Amino acid sequence: MIQSARLKVLVDAPVRPDGAYVLYWMQQSQRAEFNPALEFAIEQANGLGLPVLVCFGLTAFPEANLRHYDFMLRGLAEVRRRLADRGVGFVIRKQPSHELARALAADAALVVCDRGYLKIQRTWRAKLAESLDRRLVQVEGDVVVPVELPSGKHEYAARTIRPRIQRLLEDYLAPLAARPSRVRADALRIVGDIDLDDIPGVLANLQIDAAVGPVRRFEPGEGAARARLEAFVAKALPRYGAERGRPEANVASHMSPYLHFGQISPVEIALAARRSPASDSRDSYLEELIVRRELAMNHAFYAPDYDRYEVLPEWARKTLADHASDPRPHLYDRARFEAAQTHDPYWNGAMREMRATGYMHNHLRMYWGKKILNWSAGPEEAFETILALNNRWFLDGRDANSFTNVGWIFGLHDRPWGPQPVFGTVRSMGANTFKKFDADAYLRDVTWLEVAERG
């Protein structure tokens, strides 16, 4: 079912029954199944006796590079195939996303869009709404509980948002059936200008940072996401609670790249996890997937300056400023960090994994970020470095989760701890991180991953 709280009318104009199709402007939810915006568009189209046309505008997205575009476009090629099987049309053009939607809206009975929480995504939707002369309905599909429901304000920490989300959970953890399309889109003759059968050719013509190449570790697309999810639930989920702190144990779900590109729904993931027997492991996984992830959405939504140092809590900025001139045990600039050339082989290993594969385990991300803060000339410089490297190399970078977790390195959603040099009362992390797991086994894994990436 599609809960009514997922729907928001952005332009309250009447539906035009003389339209040629219902247009779904796909942007965040890049998938053909378990996508409430798509199912809503099909329901509307069925009611009007029209087909559905999905459009996607390929445009410059801040900080997106070859790694990101390759993953996204290969995922979209699968979306196109799956939509065709469902009788839904798909057009992709090299054009600012909302402008393509506006152009194709001219022949639409109504327009449906999905929802994104980043500034640019919100701006695009607002711009389309400003200039559209027909009905525009936004359908939330990428969080479990629509962000305004648990809280109307910026939340302080996981503990403050957790009970608010949990109260609503049962209403929003519901399956979503695929609606059959009554009128197929085969007769629509609307062509794109991007050839998804030639993705290398498309990529070669984009003005993007090509130094960050595609990765083999993650096969893109919703099929690959579901296959990974199924394997995770069957094999790793039962061990998640006890072993999630050990990167070499390989019990993480690796869902983050798919979630970032909307190639899988968090509701679908949560339902799959809930089909396994109740356990601490299951609770612990749902805590990360829902509470922690949706706390990040809350931050991006209610603190639109999420990409600026000034958004960090005042107590944290003050203590970091008080310690800004403490001597650093080691001092590196962004280039040395990016080249994985610090004195610390474990830190370098984590940076190498990120460069080679676009991924890193959560505990290592924490250590990685805390050490950049520790070894940079000042906290503002560290913030810039962490955010830039995070968004450049991670496949799941440039996400609400990216900005929020980088903020966490600097005290966001956390509390003051015992004072330390450089950190002040912001939580620090030391070398004992590596006593809690087999760090040398992890380094061997990184070497293997690098070899696998080279092919």
Which positions touch ligand FAD (CB under 6 A)? 244, 252-256, 259-260, 288-289, 292-293, 296, 361-362, 365-366, 369, 390, 394, 396-397, 399, 401-402, 405-406, 408-409
Residue with the two structure tokens 């099987």: 85
Find the shortest distance in angstroms from Cβ 298 to ligand FAD: 11
Find the shortest distance in angstroms from Cβ 232 to ligand FAD: 7
Task: Select from 350, 3, 318, 290 the least CA-distant residue to 161.
Answer: 290
Give the list of residues 6+ apart from residue 137 with CB closer than 8 angstroms, or none: 7, 8, 9, 10, 40, 110, 111, 112, 113
Choose between 100 and 364: whose C-beta lies nearer to ligand FAD: 364
Choose between 125 and 371: whose C-beta lies nearer to ligand FAD: 371
Find the shortest distance in angstroms from Cβ 141 to ligand FAD: 15
**Is the alpha carbon torsion for 88, 127, 290, 383 positive or negative?**
positive
Q: How far apart are CA 208 and CA 191, in angstroms?
A: 25
Find the shortest distance in angstroms from Cβ 44 to ligand FAD: 30
Rg (CA), the chain: 22
Choose between 36 and 266: whose C-beta lies nearer to ligand FAD: 266
Choose between 337 and 394: whose C-beta lies nearer to ligand FAD: 394
Find the shortest distance in angstroms from Cβ 352 to ligand FAD: 16
Residue with the two structure tokens 């608010």: 164
Choose between 1 and 157: whose C-beta lies nearer to ligand FAD: 157
Half-sphere exposure of 85 (CA within 13 A, CB side): 8
Choose between 21 and 394: whose C-beta lies nearer to ligand FAD: 394
Token digits for 209? 């940072």
CA 66 from chain centre, in angstroms, equals 17
Find the shortest distance in angstroms from Cβ 45 to ligand FAD: 32
Token digits for 415? 């509390």
Strand order in the sheet with 21-25: 7-11, 136-139, 108-114, 21-25, 52-58, 89-94
Token digits for 425? 């009362």
Choose between 181 and 391: whose C-beta lies nearer to ligand FAD: 391
Find the shortest distance in angstroms from Cβ 307 to ligand FAD: 12
Q: How far apart are CA 35 and CA 293, in angstroms?
A: 19
Find the shortest distance in angstroms from Cβ 429 to ligand FAD: 10
Choose between 135 and 299: whose C-beta lies nearer to ligand FAD: 299
Residue 129 burial (C-beta neighbours within 10 Å; 0-12, 13-18, 19+): middle
